[in-house]
Amino acid sequence: MLRLPKFEIARPTSIDEVVALLSEHGDDAQIIAGGTDLVPNMKHELFTPKVVVSIADVPDIAGVRVESDGTLAIGAMTTLHDVASDERVRSIAPALGHATALISGPQLRRMGTLGGNVMLDTRCQWYNQTHFWRKSLGYCLKKDGTVCHVVQSGQKCVAAASNDSAPALMTLDATLVFHGTDGRRELPIDDLWRADGIYNKHVSGELLTEIRIPATPRGHRGAYEKLRDRDSIDFPLLGVAARVDWDDAGDRVARAEVCLVALQARPVRLKKVAELLVGKQRASAELDGAIEASAERAYKQCRPLPNIPGDHEYRHEMAPVFVRRALRACVRASENASDAAGV
């Protein structure tokens, strides 16, 4: 078996203690939640923290709550399994329910957390390898090296954001609650991401405690479609989250969103793609046409790179297919819901 590098484990019992430990140890500290990403990455010597800060004993950062204004508040330490199987998640934020149910396999979903998924490291076939492997390669820009093997002349790492929950949370306008030395702050999820595969987030050294999803309207529908080789375990080769909200009358699209992951360093929001649907009549040819047009536009707007394993041209070909499928799933869900007489 691969060995874990040596480290110390800290087990703080409050948010303040976590914050203090993180600020004391700086880059030498790393949070561990479920450990399903951190542990393999440590075995690959991608991370060699001196202090691993377990947040398992911090109270009140796990669990799902619905607040009085309808906000869905999910503790960062809530396991993916608990998120995926929660009825409130499935009705208020169906895309998140779908996405989390498709993350890796059943065992890992019972260990892995939603917070860990949001904060997941980017992935690349030249990076997620053992130390021996990377050393034989001569390393790469993201870690220990100077060149990128995906874009050889590139100055930037283009490793792929690979967290399935991210695009779903983006369609849901999620905000993230972080705690740092300056106290608590809320950040819209879109503002978390940077287009840099080395570290694709604007926040570091802070504890994510909660993921907040504002109440969704009655006509809200969401879906997540995931491309992968196997129907379990695998990271996304492409992930598409879609949102379609019907207007109050329930017959025109009031709002639509399409967000993708596993393309580049940050999950992407395809604003122009989703806009095509707005105002279209339910069950109409113009809606079908708009879905087709969105799919075509998605094809033009995304350029998968050979960063993660597999054929990137195939991933490109699948972008319109999966955008179409995700949007259709939203539209279909809507029909089912009205069939079921408003349940």
Partner 1 sequence: MAARDKHGVDAPWSAGFQVVGRPSRKIDGLAKAVGHAVYADDITLPGMLHTKFLRSPHPHAKIRSIDTSKALALDGVHAVITGECMPIKYGVIPWTPDENALATDKVRFIGDEVAAVAAIDEDTANAALELIDVDYEVLHAFLDPDEALTRQDPQIHEQSEANKKKRGHRGNVSKHVDLEFGDVDAALDAADVLIEDEYTFHGTTHAAIEPHCALAQASPDGLLTVWSSTQITHYVHRALARVLEIDASQIRVIQPCLGGAFGGKSDPFALEFVVAKLALLTGRPVKCLWTREEVFYAHRGRHPMQMRYRTGAKKDGRLTGVDAKILIDGGSYSSFGLVTTYYSGQLLTGPYDFPAYRFDSTRVFTNKPPCGPKRGHGSVQPRFAFEVQLDQVAEKLDLDPIEIRRINFQGENTQTVNGQRITSNGFMECLDEVERASRWKERRGKLPRGRGLGVAGSMYITGTNYPVYPNKLPQAGIQLQADRSGLVTVFTGGNDIGQGSNSIARAIVAEELGLDPMSVRVVAADTDLCPVDLGAYSSRVTFMVGNATIDAARKLRKLIVSAVAEAWEIEEKRVFMARGEVFDLESRNRRITTREAFHLAEERYDTLGTTGAYNTPTLGGDYRGGTIGASPAYSFTAHVVEASVDEETGRITVENCWIAHDCGRALNPMLVAGQMEGSAYMGIAEAVMEEHAVNRFGLHAGPSLLDYRIPTSVDTPELHALIVESLDPEGPYGAKEAGEGPLHPSIPAISNAVFDAVGIRLTHLPFTPGKVLAALRAQRSKNLATPVGTGGA
Ligand X SMILES: Cc1cc2nc3c(=O)[nH]c(=O)nc-3n(C[C@H](O)[C@H](O)[C@H](O)COP(=O)(O)OP(=O)(O)OC[C@H]3O[C@@H](n4cnc5c(N)ncnc54)[C@H](O)[C@@H]3O)c2cc1C
Interaction between residue 3 and partner 1 (CB under 8 A): yes
Question: Among ligand X, ligand SF4, partner 1, none, what binds residue 289 when CB lies within 5 to 8 Å by partner kind?
Answer: none
Please give the span between the terminal C-alpha atoms of the chain, in angstroms, as a whole number: 51
Pick one of 69, 182, 231, 339: the residue that binds partner 1 (CB under 8 A).
231
Q: What angle do CA 85, 88, 93 make, to 5 degrees?
A: 90
Query: Cβ of residue 155: shortest distance to ligand SF4, in angstroms?
Result: 10
Kindly write out the interface string for residues 86-105 of this chain, putting x where it contacts partner 1 by CB under 8 A and - elsewhere: -------------------x
> Quick count: other Cβ atoms within 10 Å of Cβ 20?
13
Interaction between residue 97 and ligand X (CB under 6 A): no
Using the contact rule CB under 6 A, the part of the chain among 24-32, 65-73, 84-92, 142-150 near ligand X is 24-32
Pick one of 193, 235, 246, 322: the residue that binds ligand X (CB under 6 A).
235
Which residue type does 190 have?
Answer: D
Q: Which of residues 302-331 bind partner 1 (CB under 8 A)?
A: 309, 311, 313-314, 317-318, 321
**Cα 324 to chain center, whole Å?**
20
Size of the site for ligand X (CB under 6 A): 34
Question: Among partner 1, ligand X, ligand SF4, none, what binds residue 268 when CB lies within 5 to 8 Å by partner kind?
Answer: none
Closest among 286, 285, 322 to 302, alpha carbons compared:
322
- Give backbone dihedrals phi and psi of 139, rounded to 5 degrees, phi first: 60, -170
Instruction: Locate 291 and state its tokens.
Output: 């879905």
Query: Cβ of residue 82: shortest distance to partner 1, in angstroms?
Result: 21
- What does the alpha-carbon distance between residue 289 and residue 36 come to, in Å, rounded to a whole number? 42
Interaction between residue 6 and partner 1 (CB under 8 A): yes
Query: Cβ of residue 230: shortest distance to partner 1, in angstroms?
Result: 5
Q: Which of residues 163-192 bind ligand X (CB under 6 A)?
A: 163-164
Query: Cβ of residue 199: shortest distance to ligand SF4, in angstroms?
Result: 11
Provide the binding-site residues for ligand SF4, judged by CB under 6 A: 124, 126-127, 140-142, 148-150, 157-159, 197, 307
Closest among 263, 315, 302, 322 to 124, alpha carbons compared:
263
Instruction: Locate 22 and state its tokens.
Output: 């993180």
Interaction between residue 60 and partner 1 (CB under 8 A): no
Q: What is the dihedral sign for C-alpha 49, 7, 208, 35?
A: positive
Q: Strand, helix or coil at 168?
A: helix
Q: Per DSSP, what are the bridge partners of residue 201?
A: 193
Instruction: Locate 19 and state its tokens.
Output: 């914050």
Interaction between residue 65 and partner 1 (CB under 8 A): no
> Quick count: other Cβ atoms within 10 Å of Cβ 16?
12
Q: Where on the chain is the footprint of partner 1 (CB under 8 A)?
A: 1-3, 6, 105, 125, 129-130, 132-133, 135-137, 227, 229-235, 309, 311, 313-314, 317-318, 321
